[in-house]
C-alpha cells in the first residue's frame, strides 16, 4: 500500500492518550503499515505538539512513552530545515487557511518523500502536493 508514511501529530496523540474511537483507527493503520513493510516518519513539530500536555501536568511517564513509541517503531524524524520552511511558506501561500504548524508538517512529509500523510485534519485534504489520508475517511 504505502511505503513511506508520515504521521501527523494528532494520530500519535490519539493513540498514546488512548482517545477513542480514534486510537483504534490509528493502531489499525499503523499495524497495516507495518505488515506492508512501510517506513514511518514524523517531524520535530510533533515533539513540540505532543509534549505540551505531559510537561504541563508533569507526566514524565507520558514523555517516556512517547519517546519509546518513536524508538520501538523506528519512526524517523524529519528535522525542520530552511528548505522545509520555504516549502511550508509556499504551501501557506497556495492554501491560505492552512496553519503554520500544519504547513511545516506537510512540507516535512514532502521533503522526506512520503507517499502518505496520515492526519485527522480534514482541511489538509485540499493539499495536492502530498497524498493526505484523512482518518475520518472509510477508505484507509
- CATH at residue 62: 3.40.50.1010
Q: Would you state the pLDDT for residue 138?
A: 57
The reply to whether 1 falls in a domain is: no
Residue closest to 22 by CA, chosen among 11, 31, 33? 11
Total residues belonging to the chain? 140
Residues facing 19 on adjacent strands: none
**Chain segment 63-103, per-residue pLDDT in tens:** 999 999 999 999 999 999 999 999 999 999 999 999 999 99
DSSP letter, residue 79:
P
Q: Would you state the pLDDT for residue 16?
A: 97
Whole-angstrom Cα distance, residue 132 to residue 120?
10
The reply to whether 103 falls in a domain is: yes
**Domains contained in the chain, number:** 1
Residue 124: partners with Cβ closer than 8 Å, 6 or more residues away: 8, 98, 102, 106, 117, 132, 134
What SS3 state is found at 117? strand
**Chain segment 30-71, per-residue pLDDT in tens:** 999 999 999 999 999 999 999 999 999 999 999 999 999 999
The reply to whether 139 falls in a domain is: no
Amino acid at each position: 500500500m504505502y511505503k513511506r508514511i508520515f504521521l501527523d501529530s494528532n494520530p500519535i496523540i490519539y493513540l498514546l492518550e488512548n482517545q477513542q474511537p480514534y486510537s483504534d483507527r490509528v493502531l489499525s493503520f499503523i499495524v497495516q503499515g507495518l505488515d506492508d513493510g512501510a517506513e514511518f516518519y514524523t517531524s520535530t513539530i510533533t515533539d513540540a505538539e505532543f509534549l505540551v500536555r505531559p510537561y504541563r501536568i508533569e507526566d514524565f511517564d507520558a514523555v517516556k512513552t512517547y519517546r519509546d513509541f518513536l524508538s520501538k517503531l523506528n519512526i524517523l524524524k524529519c528535522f525542520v530545515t530552511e528548505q522545509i520552511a520555504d516549502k511550508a511558506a509556499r504551501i501557506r501561500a497556495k492554501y491560505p487557511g492552512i496553519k503554520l504548524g500544519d504547513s511545516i508538517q506537510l512540507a516535512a512529509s514532502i521533503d522526506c518523500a512520503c507517499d502518505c500523510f496520515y492526519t485527522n485534519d480534514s482541511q489538509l485534504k485540499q493539499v495536492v502536493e502530498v497524498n493526505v489520508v484523512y482518518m475520518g475517511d472509510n477508505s484507509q
